[in-house]
Amino acid sequence: MSKEKKVNLIMAIIMSACMGILFAFVARKSASPQALQTMPSAPVMIITSLIESIIVGVIVAFVIPMGKMGSALSAKFGAIPGTAKFTAINSIPFAVINAVLVSAVCSFISIAGSHAKMPPEQAPPLLIMWLSNWLKTLPLSILLSYVLAVIISPIVVKKVGLGGPPADRGPKE
């Protein structure tokens, strides 16, 4: 496996795990008393959400070339690898794409499961129930993904041994 794919895999696992916890928390906090009764216990919901989000995040990371998109966007803005500007710009595609797709799929799975357990006379339309829940988590998902990408990606890149600041930067002694 290439170093780029290792970085993408590690980032997808970390970011998706954090989003999975966020989804479970928001779903429980925003649920009506009737919906809460149909949900699994908090620990089961968190574990299920973690597993779902990691699986979806890893698939997204391998299918969509977010690293290449980030590098192309960074180059367009003249950002040099290893700089804060590069990290900030390079993180945008990964954070946004990962957050949108992982949150959409995972929230739909969760909401569809809860919806199926609700009495039909009390259940709102599935699409409305899903969209209202997903739209609540989407801004937080994007923000969480971006902050994590900016903070964690330089560490992961360094640990994997993929680049870093250019060798000729800084004063020479």
What pLDDT was estimated at residue 102? 93
- For the segment 16-33, the average pLDDT, to the nearest whole number, is 83
Using the predicted structure, report yes or no on whether residue 38 has a pLDDT greater than 80. no
Establish if 10 belongs to a structural domain: yes
Domain count, the chain: 1
Establish if 170 belongs to a structural domain: no
Establish if 166 belongs to a structural domain: no
Establish if 98 belongs to a structural domain: yes
Establish if 64 belongs to a structural domain: yes
Establish if 119 belongs to a structural domain: yes
Which one is predicted more confidently, 173 or 12?
A: 12
Establish if 172 belongs to a structural domain: no
Establish if 56 belongs to a structural domain: yes
Using the predicted structure, report yes or no on whether residue 35 has a pLDDT greater than 80. no
As a three-state string, the secondary structure of the chain is CCHHHHHHHHHHHHHHHHHHHHHHHHHHHHCCHHHHHHCCCHHHHHHHHHHHHHHHHHHHHHHCCHHHHHHHHHHHCCCCCCCHHHHHHHHHHHHHHHHHHHHHHHHHHHHHHHHHHCCCCCCCCHHHHHHHHHHHHHHHHHHHHHHHHHHHHHHHHHHHCCCCCCCCCCCCC
- Domain holding 100, by residue range, is 3-160
